[in-house]
Amino acid sequence: MKTQLELARDDLVSEEMRTVSNFEHIELEVIRTNVANGTVVIIGGSRHGSKPVGVGEGLTSKVNASIGTSTDIIDVGLEIKKAKAAEEGGADTLMELSVGGDLDMIRREIIAATSLPVGTVPLYQAFREATDRYGDPNKLTEELLFDVIERQCADGVAFMAIHCGINLYATERLKSQGYRFGGLVSKGGATMVGWMLANNSENPLYEKFDRVVEILKRYDTVLSLGNGLRAGAIADSLDRAQIQELIINCELAETARDMGCQVMVEGPGHVPLDEIETSIILEKKMSGGAPYYMLGPLVTDVGAGYDHITAAIGIASSSRYGADLLCYITPSEHLALPNVEDVIVGVKAAKVAAHAGDIVKLRGKIDKRDLDMSLARRDLDWEKQYSLALYGQDAREIRDSRSPKIDNHCTMCGNFCALEKANQYFL
């Protein structure tokens, strides 16, 4: 069974490529060429039972929603509701990040409940199982680690964030720079660093990278090179440890492509606005244009309770400068496990922000919708406005909840409607 990358390199066109071509309104040969050179990946499709999603060069920015249990809250029904809410809200992909409960069962239930391509972080389950079996995550064995990766691929996981770029050399960078203001915020990254230091051994995901790639290739699961040393504070952005991991991940991306595996590179994290473009330029140049999956980014550290807004600012900027897949952030980030409402708010904020960035990134390709909305507003055509809005039903409900006295007005201006007055003279 060939991967989408291998098919494209053989000048073959798959149904998944056709689906992406039709959705993006881009010529099929352009899609095939970009998949072949690794600047576009296709996540999901018939092999995973989900709709295929194109991520990468020339395509609209995609939004990922993350869900999953914690050790404090284990409610499979709640996670299924969150998965469905994310899909209904417009998420393009879903990451199932559970660490509490029966992880195999939860993952399979989530995959069955949604048509979105589902991703995972296999280190979470590997360290959980090592803790359950041996009482210590640092007793994780290589065979258990690779067994978990294979098990998750076999279940239909469409993409995997795997922390291959953390090695002993990168860990030394943390020590030499005096650690960090924000510490280590990646669960997989922090636990793998602990494993390496406790065992005085190299990360097996780095040391035996070929084995990682061979497993994912068998299932055409897209490899997302995890950002385990991402900055958890804007003061840590672009520090030596983060850049060292990025360099390694970009090198590994090249190796994965050469082996025929679809691959993305992950990025930070907490990033001040003026460093977002730099982060994207570095990843694109060093990886040969591999799709960039940005986690957030969050552009300030003090937005607790409103970090969906903090991230939306970062997502708009990241999309503008060429990031390809953006991971949403919910209002409960840094505070609690998200509930259904948090997921809905997080997805919608991220989708609006990604669209704002795409207007610049894909100049001339998608901004007709915004122009048509402007004309509908000018003409006070409310039904057309609802049809063009990203979330038209929400817009309708807001206006209807404060019904105007005159049908074509809104209660913001009432009888003093600027458009109505000016239209008398110009239309």
Out of 341, 361, 381, pick the residue that ends a domain: 361
Amino acid code (one letter) for 140:
L
304 falls in which pLDDT band (50, 70, 90)?
very high
Query: Residue 403: what pLDDT?
Result: 87
Query: Residue 350: what pLDDT?
Result: 98
Residue 356 lies in a domain: yes
When pLDDT is averaged across residues 297-321 and rounded to a whole number, the result is 98
Query: Residue 97: what pLDDT?
Result: 98
Residue 2 lies in a domain: no
Residues 6+ apart with CB under 8 A from 358: 60, 61, 319, 366
Looking at the fold, whether 301 and 400 belong to one and the same domain comes out as: no
For 58, counting Cβ atoms within 10 Å of its Cβ (0-12 exposed, 13-18 middle, 19+ buried), the class is: middle
Query: Residue 409: what pLDDT?
Result: 86
Residue 415 lies in a domain: yes
Distance of alpha carbon 301 from alpha carbon 304, whole angstroms: 8
Q: What is the DSSP letter of 156?
A: T
Q: What is the pLDDT of residues 358-375, one digit of tens each?
A: 999 999 887 899 999 999
Residue 342 in this model has a pLDDT that exceeds 90: yes
**How many domains does the chain fold into?**
2
Token code pair at residue 87: 């899909």
Out of 340, 361, 382, pick the residue that ends a domain: 361
When pLDDT is averaged across residues 130-138 and rounded to a whole number, the result is 97
Query: Residue 407: what pLDDT?
Result: 83
Lowest mean pLDDT, pick from 54-68, 121-135, 270-284, 354-368? 354-368
Looking at the fold, whether 301 and 394 belong to one and the same domain comes out as: no
Looking at the fold, whether 229 and 373 belong to one and the same domain comes out as: no
List the one residue out of 292, 178, 184, 289 whose CA is nearest residue 230.
Answer: 184
Residue 109 in this model has a pLDDT that exceeds 90: yes
**pTM more than 0.85:** yes
Amino acid code (one letter) for 171:
T
When pLDDT is averaged across residues 202-212 and rounded to a whole number, the result is 98
Q: 189-206 b/e with 16+ CB inside 10 Å = b?
A: bbbbbebbeeeeeebbbb
When pLDDT is averaged across residues 139-145 and rounded to a whole number, the result is 98
Query: Residue 43: what pLDDT?
Result: 98
277 falls in which pLDDT band (50, 70, 90)?
very high
When pLDDT is averaged across residues 283-302 and rounded to a whole number, the result is 97
Place of tokens 């978990």: 148
Q: What is the pLDDT of residues 36-91, one digit of tens each?
A: 999 999 999 888 989 999 999 999 999 999 999 999 999 999 999 999 999 999 99
List the one residue out of 130, 118, 265, 263 whose CA is nearest residue 191.
Answer: 130
Residue 247 in this model has a pLDDT that exceeds 90: yes
When pLDDT is averaged across residues 220-245 and rounded to a whole number, the result is 96
Residue 36 lies in a domain: no
Q: What is the pLDDT of residues 178-199, one digit of tens each?
A: 999 999 999 999 999 999 999 9
Looking at the fold, whether 337 and 295 belong to one and the same domain comes out as: yes
What share of the chain has pLDDT > 90, as a percent?
93
Query: Residue 353: what pLDDT?
Result: 98
When pLDDT is averaged across residues 404-425 and rounded to a whole number, the result is 89
Out of 308, 338, 361, pick the residue that ends a domain: 361
DSSP string, 397-412: HHHHHT--SSTT--TT
Looking at the fold, whether 346 and 379 belong to one and the same domain comes out as: no
Average pLDDT value for the chain:
96
Looking at the fold, whether 130 and 187 belong to one and the same domain comes out as: yes
For 214-254, the three-class secondary structure string (H helix, E strand, C coil) is HHHHHHCCEEEECCCCCCCCHHHCCCHHHHHHHHHHHHHHH
Looking at the fold, whether 342 and 417 belong to one and the same domain comes out as: no
Give the up-direction half-sphere exposure of residue 212: CA atoms within 13 A in the CB hemisphere.
30
Looking at the fold, whether 242 and 347 belong to one and the same domain comes out as: yes
Amino acid code (one letter) for 1:
M
Looking at the fold, whether 337 and 275 belong to one and the same domain comes out as: yes
Distance of alpha carbon 228 from alpha carbon 342, whole angstroms: 25
Distance of alpha carbon 5 from alpha carbon 9, whole angstroms: 6
When pLDDT is averaged across residues 277-299 and rounded to a whole number, the result is 97
Residue 16 lies in a domain: no
What share of the chain has pLDDT > 70, as a percent?
100
Residue 84 lies in a domain: yes
Distance of alpha carbon 399 from alpha carbon 128, whole angstroms: 48
Tell me the β-bridge partners of 77: none
Residue 380 lies in a domain: yes
Looking at the fold, whether 351 and 418 belong to one and the same domain comes out as: no
Distance of alpha carbon 180 from alpha carbon 237, whole angstroms: 10
Query: Residue 45: what pLDDT?
Result: 87
Domain of residue 353, residue span = 58-361
- Residue of higher predicted confidence among 122 and 365: 122
Looking at the fold, whether 264 and 377 belong to one and the same domain comes out as: no
Query: Residue 1: what pLDDT?
Result: 83
Query: Residue 258: what pLDDT?
Result: 98
The CATH number covering residue 84 comes to: 3.20.20.540
Looking at the fold, whether 384 and 304 belong to one and the same domain comes out as: no
Residue 74 lies in a domain: yes
Place of tokens 């998944």: 16
